[in-house]
Structure 1
Amino acid sequence: MSENTIFAPVSVLPRVGEKKVEALNGLGIKKVIDLLYYFPYRYEDLSKQNIENLVDGDKAVLQGQVVTSPVLSRFGGKRNSLRFKLDVENLIINVVFFNQPYLRDKILIGQEIAIYGKWEQSNLSLVGSKIIDQAKTGQLEPIYSTTASIKQWSLRKLIKDTFTNYQKDLVNIVPEEIRLPLHLMSEAEMLKKIHFPVNYEEAQVARKSAVFEEFFLYLSRLRWLNKDEDQEGVEVNYDLNKLKKFIETLPFELTDSQKKAVNEICYDIKSPLAMNRLLQGDVGSGKTIVAALGIYAAATAKMQSALMVPTEVLAAQHYDNLKSLFKDTSLEIALLTSATPKAQRKNILERLKTGVIDLVIGTHALIQPDVEFKNLSLVIIDEQHRFGVNQRRALRVKGLMPNILSMTATPIPRTLAITIYGSIKISTIKEMPRGRLPIKTLWVKSPDDPLIDRAVQYELKNDHQVYVVTPLVAESEKIDLRNAEEIYDQYVKKYPEVEVALLHGKMKAEAKEQILTDFAAQKSRILISTTVIEVGVDVKAATLMIIYDANRFGLSQLHQLRGRVGRSSLQSYCVLVGNPTNDIAKKRLELMVKSNDGFVLAENDLKLRGAGEVFGSRQSGEINFKVGDPLEDQKALQLARSAVDQVFKSDPLLENEANGNLHQFLIETKDYDETID
């Protein structure tokens, strides 16, 4: 398999030139194997339908005889329609094709023709999308996700030709000892029946094999990448008495969940095995203080910690908060981002290397090659789902197997988390800090609802602050949504007595940081923003969150945004503004009004959107399964987990001949690491 051509780049395929390579790359198709595993997301049934059984709106193939010549009409610039009549089962119907004038010469009176389109019962019309080769009627036609750069028919033909030419090179990646007892299809059979099924039943059976294989390969790759997990790590012999005394100085009492999480982390870092733990908790539940106590414990053992976050704004905030928290201790703390001046950066790097700095906080700047530590023992990754596998590993290799603590405010069900993330241990913070009041959430349909102005006036009168969030930065001709610049202008005019600020992702890091600093210092009272404030921003005087076009956001994102208020003992409010037209969006807003529990909302988000969307997309380095759904296909996921355990328990390095194909596959696809986690 080492010379298997299915791992060659798509440029080796016939008639695939530079432009088509670029188009395929845009779909995530870089190698021949990617093309073979680029599955259809649905099928069109090309079976001829009985016209009597159709209802309005049905997609159908109707076959009949052309009884009038096609008439081409033009309207609105380049737009046109082609109309003729068709005799179907002795019923004369109207057929119309839009913007396909080239079909006129292919449609002749008396010709027998099959057309796929949408049935309109009211006027006995078929709005055609294509003419079907009569030899293909009765088949299922695969429909793939495409872009403007590559047409559906072109991609379909390329996949078919590639399968024909390369099926002899396909090998079974799942070992026989796993595949045969589970009655899984061979690789060639599975791909054939997914791309070219005879009927839906055949496609569904093939999908079951594909789902298992996808989960199996994902979990195998995760195990392979983390095969050194159980190796000896940095043993942190922290000073328990110093840690207890520090906890006593905190101006608040830890919740029971926080105490439990601290104990679990301290137990792990003192163990000779490297810690790999996920700390999950709702927005505002106090995950950072738990991490801070782990950092302090490491410092008592004279060992270093690193905290990596996804944005410079969040890094600066963590730096300020932890500087304040550790102000009466001897801990040396540094902030390292791409915005750090060269001279300052050089000084930080020197002090890290010599062990003077106990804690460094930063973004991706921490994983640059010239960043060296003396004795890194604890790596904390905030909003861990924002980082890919290679990025997380790049920080881990800065030390001799340091302990890893990942944090997330996007909770998922424990059993699903264990299955998805492999052998990672999980700590969960269930309660909110004492003294916090639940955020009251209201939903209004119109942006002109007087409730919005009353809420803003009330909070300003009480010397509080207001967040206003919108999906867009500037006006868009394509999408009719409220935008940040428009709302900013409106709020400046409506509330001239206070400072109104505008924040969005297109601003430079320095400008963003200054705006947030001014807001935290109450120099500005209203902050108009895009979702750049979704994660981490913590302003205790902010008590009102207004979210325009709330129906355009996902449930988890709405909850993250709402979590920017309610950060103190003050009563806080969230006003959702949106008039959704579909049931799922309505359900999301209803759930937001009913519940403040992030775990409850996460469960519902999984049900409403599917796990693939909740976990994220390939662009951000997150889980994005092609055919499997970890929620709907939990049984297959658990079977795959057991199978992976079986394989790696008996052959940790995949050296046995029976696992040769799997081993080769993982090696050949190692450059996909960033897209699988």
Structure 2
Amino acid sequence: MAYVRGLKQPITELSGVGPAAKAAYLELGISTYSDLLLLSPRTWEDRSEVHPLGGLEDAQMANTLVEVLSHSYFGLKAGKKRTLKILVRDVSGLGDGRLSLLCFGRNFLEKTIKVGRIYYLYGSVNRNRGELQCSQFELYPATEDGDFPKQFGQILPIYPLRGSLSQRLIRTNMKAVLASVDTFEDEMTASMRENYHLLSTDQAIRAYHFPPSVEVLHQAHRTLALTELFYLQLVARRHKSLQQRSTRTGPSIPTKLELKCIETLPFSLTGDQITSLTEIRQDLDSDMPMNRLLQGDVGSGKTLVAWISALHVLSQKGQVAFMAPTELLARQHAESGAALLEKLGIRLAFLTGSVKNKERRLLLEAIKGGEVDIIIGTHALFSAEVAFRNLRYVIIDEQHRFGVEQRLALLEKAQVPDLLLMTATPIPRTLSLTVFGNLNVSTLRTMPAGRKPVITHLVNEQSRKRMYQAVGVEFQRGHQAYFVYPRIDDSGESDLRDVNNMYEFLKNEYPTVPSALIHSKLDEEEKVHILKEYQGGRIAYLVSTSVVEVGIDIPNATCMVIEHADRFGLSALHQLRGRVGRSVLQSYCFLVFGDELTDEAKQRLKVMKESNDGFYIAEQDLLIRGPGELTGTRQSGYLKLIYASLTDDLPLIEIARNEADHILESDPGLLQVEHEPIRATLANAPPFEEEHSEA
């Protein structure tokens, strides 16, 4: 049996693959026949239809027969700097027109391209001073009857290149690999092929590389993309279904401690918070460890859900670890947790790298002895010296800031811990269906009552003065502000504004308004002191780097000014904007940008201006940046999709998920005859390994 991913022959067995080509192929990650088959063309050149010279616009491709009319030169009259120009006319019979072929560095073509002869031409044309010109082209002699050569009436794949590789060599090698296999085994069931109008795997892989028509190419691509997404879902959902089959049935009931905490709140929980608490509670009461992602927009109340859910575990005599990525954020969580839970008799402790000597030793002994219920801290929680008496529940805030190894180090401190990952960077729907397919996901969309959307202004240099005046009005109203810059000290290296210089500038702009400077180079105690002063209203504005991006909750802050906003990613911009608008006060965000913007920067600023919805912003971020940067998959290597696109193939993702769920529900062991192709593919050449399904 031959599978697309099962051909282990080394590429050095292919004609033309010597040491240089082998090294170039290795740069593309190709060492076997299968690796080569999985090399996706970056595009295809459609040479199957004639595109005559007449009527072509700039950057369109000519694909036609031409007669050579003359040779001439332009440039210096003497020496090697002259450039050959070949004038041709269209003789395809489907159009007319003349074209000048500019032969930069190819004056030798004067000897091989003969006047009066007919050639097949393929190349990109443009108009210059009324003349149709082409400098990147291919010319091949036509057949004796003046027709197109057979080898060029095709749709040709264009592959990524490295080193000494050429399109001709890769195509030749690809054809040889395909010819070495009589038939590739099907990877999809007969019913899926019929229901979704798919090709067989054999037809699809051959047509993907060398399509007979554009229509068949689309069908081949759809077949391979859906196959890839199906196996990605199957691996992820298979892992998840094993958990679900072992869970306890019946409703989970909130404990007295949870109810007492909810009753003391001065407001009502949102519907999404109540739903998320129910989902988490059911996981906590199941026989299998919880593996859940709690996602919600900035200010949606994720931390409150986490604290209340922790009470469910504490009622069963377990311990809870709450980990945050920075000491500043961990300290904020410790303060909010203490304000909510200490009156219920819950014992909390705060542990970071700055807790030292005798104080640290006593705290570690208390944690080990079970005298602490909730331990809040940074990565210090998973250091070797920290031991728990009965760690049952691990909560990780801003989970994307921690590596897999760090998470595992903390989880290893408990026998069977429940895990809740929290993120204020909402996961786009396409990613939640794929990358996080093995996680249960709870979502907070509803914002607390009374919150007003932040009004966002785009500010160019000409509008800067009006912005400062608008912020000054907020100071007169007794409100507070943030000014955020990308650098601490520019040191004259560029024209970027930095916190040190702008701090002095703003003190002149607002001479009677108390302010403070905060950035990552300050020691932790000074940062904490500044934030307490700011929280108490004794400081009106902070001049900062993006250190204030997460965890700072000041209801009286109504203005966020982000300088050089075009240099920040959408996620960072949304997080920074989320520092304001945290009360019933109307808040404002000013995104200041320079004169020269990239197209991507324009897109980001436009999205921020249009919407306060973190889920919409996350989807747009996916469209602009692609999935790798959003999920960290470029570093982890987990999500290496070859055919499918997370931005374009949502319908296929949903089909794949539904099919995977249906099959695992009806035939979890894949024992039915119809599912033989799936079982055989997983056994012989799985597109995704089981261990890669861990998020």
Query: When the two structures are superposed, what TM-score results if normalisation uses the length of structure 1?
Result: 0.78
Of 20, 23, 38, the residue aligned with 2:27 is 23
Q: What is aligned with 1:85?
A: 86
Verify the 8 A CA contact 2:489 2:500 in the aligned structure 1. Answer: no
Q: What is aligned with 2:562?
A: 547
Instruction: Measure, in 1, the Cα distance between the counterparts of 2:325 and 2:541.
Output: 26
Matched letter for residue 107 of structure 2: R
Q: Are positions 1:466 and 2:515 aligned together?
A: no
Q: What is aligned with 1:489?
A: 501
Q: Are positions 1:649 and 2:649 aligned together?
A: no
Of 211, 227, 230, the residue aligned with 1:213 is 227
Cα deviations across residues 477-521 of structure 1 (Å, max 9, x unaligned)? 9xxx97353x75345334345656364xxx67x758855763553
Q: What is aligned with 2:204?
A: 190
Verify the 8 A CA contact 2:54 2:97 in the aligned structure 1. Answer: no
Secondary structure in 1 matching 2:199: coil
Instruction: Measure, in 2, the Cα distance between the counterparts of 1:15 and 1:341.
Output: 61
Secondary structure in 2 matching 1:378: strand
Shift of 1:207: 0.9
Q: What is aligned with 1:571?
A: 586
Shift of 1:233: 6.8
Instruction: Measure, in 1, the Cα distance between the counterparts of 2:347 and 2:366.
Output: 13
Verify the 8 A CA contact 1:380 1:407 in the aligned structure 2. Answer: yes
Shift of 1:330: 3.4
Seen in structure 2, the aligned counterparts of structure 1 residues 412 and 62 have a Cα distance that, compared at 3 Å, is same
Q: Are positions 1:123 and 2:130 aligned together?
A: yes
Q: Are positions 1:67 and 2:70 aligned together?
A: yes
Q: What is aligned with 2:643?
A: 627
Shift of 1:454: 1.4
Verify the 8 A CA contact 1:280 1:410 in the aligned structure 2. Answer: yes
Q: Are positions 1:299 and 2:299 aligned together?
A: no
Q: Are positions 1:290 and 2:290 aligned together?
A: no
Cα deviations across residues 409-461 of structure 1 (Å, max 9, x unaligned)? 34467798467744754433333234534322222343653222213433455
Q: Are positions 1:161 and 2:173 aligned together?
A: yes
Seen in structure 2, the aligned counterparts of structure 1 residues 594 and 311 have a Cα distance that, compared at 3 Å, is same
Of 629, 639, 648, the residue aligned with 2:655 is 639
Shift of 1:389: 7.0
Matched letter for residue 495 of structure 1: K
Of 323, 330, 338, the residue aligned with 2:346 is 330
After superposition, where does 1:31-180 map in structure 2 within 5 Å? 33-46=34-47, 48-61=50-63, 64=66, 65=68, 67-68=70-71, 82=83, 84-89=85-90, 91-96=97-102, 101=105, 103-106=106-109, 108=111, 110=114, 112=119, 114-120=121-127, 122-131=129-138, 137-144=152-159, 150=162, 153-154=165-166, 157-158=169-170, 161=173, 164-165=176-177, 168=181, 171-175=185-189, 178-179=192-193
Shift of 1:194: 2.0
Cα deviations across residues 174-218 of structure 1 (Å, max 9, x unaligned)? 455645664533434323322332432222111110120121121
Seen in structure 2, the aligned counterparts of structure 1 residues 484 and 250 have a Cα distance that, compared at 3 Å, is farther
Instruction: Measure, in 2, the Cα distance between the counterparts of 1:179 and 1:266.
Output: 41
Matched letter for residue 39 of structure 1: S
Seen in structure 2, the aligned counterparts of structure 1 residues 491 and 365 have a Cα distance that, compared at 3 Å, is closer
Verify the 8 A CA contact 2:291 2:418 in the aligned structure 1. Answer: yes
Instruction: Measure, in 2, the Cα distance between the counterparts of 1:472 and 1:119.
Output: 48
Verify the 8 A CA contact 1:310 1:382 in the aligned structure 2. Answer: yes
User: 297-306 or 62-71, which moves further after superposition?
Assistant: 62-71
Amino-acid identity (%): 31
Seen in structure 2, the aligned counterparts of structure 1 residues 274 and 132 have a Cα distance that, compared at 3 Å, is farther
Instruction: Measure, in 1, the Cα distance between the counterparts of 2:168 and 2:528.
Output: 50
Query: When the two structures are superposed, what TM-score results if normalisation uses the length of structure 2?
Result: 0.76
Structure 1, unaligned runs of 5 or more: 75-79
Shift of 1:52: 0.8
Secondary structure in 1 matching 2:153: coil
Q: How many residues align structurally?
A: 650
Instruction: Measure, in 2, the Cα distance between the counterparts of 1:495 and 1:196.
Output: 67
Shift of 1:15: 3.9
RMSD: 4.8
Instruction: Measure, in 2, the Cα distance between the counterparts of 1:476 and 1:44.
Output: 49
User: 286-295 or 449-458, which moves further after superposition?
Assistant: 449-458
Instruction: Measure, in 2, the Cα distance between the counterparts of 1:312 and 1:570.
Output: 29
After superposition, where does 1:415-430 map in structure 2 within 5 Å? 417=432, 421-422=436-437, 424-430=439-445
Seen in structure 2, the aligned counterparts of structure 1 residues 593 and 182 have a Cα distance that, compared at 3 Å, is closer
Cα deviations across residues 256-307 of structure 1 (Å, max 9, x unaligned)? 4333433443344234454444333221111111111111221222112233
Q: What is aligned with 2:146?
A: none
Matched letter for residue 680 of structure 2: G
- Rg: which structure is higher? 2
Secondary structure in 1 matching 2:114: coil
Verify the 8 A CA contact 2:351 2:381 in the aligned structure 1. Answer: no
Matched letter for residue 165 of structure 1: V
Matched letter for residue 659 of structure 2: A
Seen in structure 2, the aligned counterparts of structure 1 residues 254 and 638 have a Cα distance that, compared at 3 Å, is closer
Verify the 8 A CA contact 2:53 2:98 in the aligned structure 1. Answer: no
Instruction: Measure, in 2, the Cα distance between the counterparts of 1:158 and 1:259.
Output: 57
Matched letter for residue 58 of structure 1: Q
Matched letter for residue 45 of structure 1: D
Secondary structure in 2 matching 1:576: strand
Cα deviations across residues 346-400 of structure 1 (Å, max 9, x unaligned)? 8777765554443344566666788765433323333445567777667556545
Cα deviations across residues 553-605 of structure 1 (Å, max 9, x unaligned)? 66555333311222344432101234797998667645544543334555666
Q: Are positions 1:204 and 2:218 aligned together?
A: yes
Secondary structure in 1 matching 2:303: helix
Q: What is aligned with 1:521?
A: 533
Instruction: Measure, in 2, the Cα distance between the counterparts of 1:266 and 1:243.
Output: 11
Q: What is aligned with 2:459?
A: 444
Instruction: Measure, in 2, the Cα distance between the counterparts of 1:591 and 1:349.
Output: 47
Instruction: Measure, in 1, the Cα distance between the counterparts of 2:571 and 2:475.
Output: 28
Cα deviations across residues 635-654 of structure 1 (Å, max 9, x unaligned)? 32232123222443355456
Of 643, 648, 662, the residue aligned with 2:682 is 662
Seen in structure 2, the aligned counterparts of structure 1 residues 302 and 482 have a Cα distance that, compared at 3 Å, is farther
Seen in structure 2, the aligned counterparts of structure 1 residues 12 and 537 have a Cα distance that, compared at 3 Å, is farther
Instruction: Measure, in 2, the Cα distance between the counterparts of 1:364 and 1:654.
Output: 42
Cα deviations across residues 20-47 of structure 1 (Å, max 9, x unaligned)? 477335xxx6876454323234323345
Of 376, 380, 384, the residue aligned with 2:395 is 380
Instruction: Measure, in 2, the Cα distance between the counterparts of 1:217 and 1:432.
Output: 36
Shift of 1:220: 1.7
Verify the 8 A CA contact 1:551 1:585 in the aligned structure 2. Answer: yes
Instruction: Measure, in 2, the Cα distance between the counterparts of 1:567 and 1:144.
Output: 51
Structure 2, unaligned runs of 5 or more: 91-95, 142-148
Q: What is aligned with 2:417?
A: 402
Seen in structure 2, the aligned counterparts of structure 1 residues 92 and 437 have a Cα distance that, compared at 3 Å, is closer
User: 423-432 or 198-207, which moves further after superposition?
Assistant: 423-432
Q: Are positions 1:222 and 2:236 aligned together?
A: yes
Q: What is aligned with 2:144?
A: none
Q: What is aligned with 2:93?
A: none
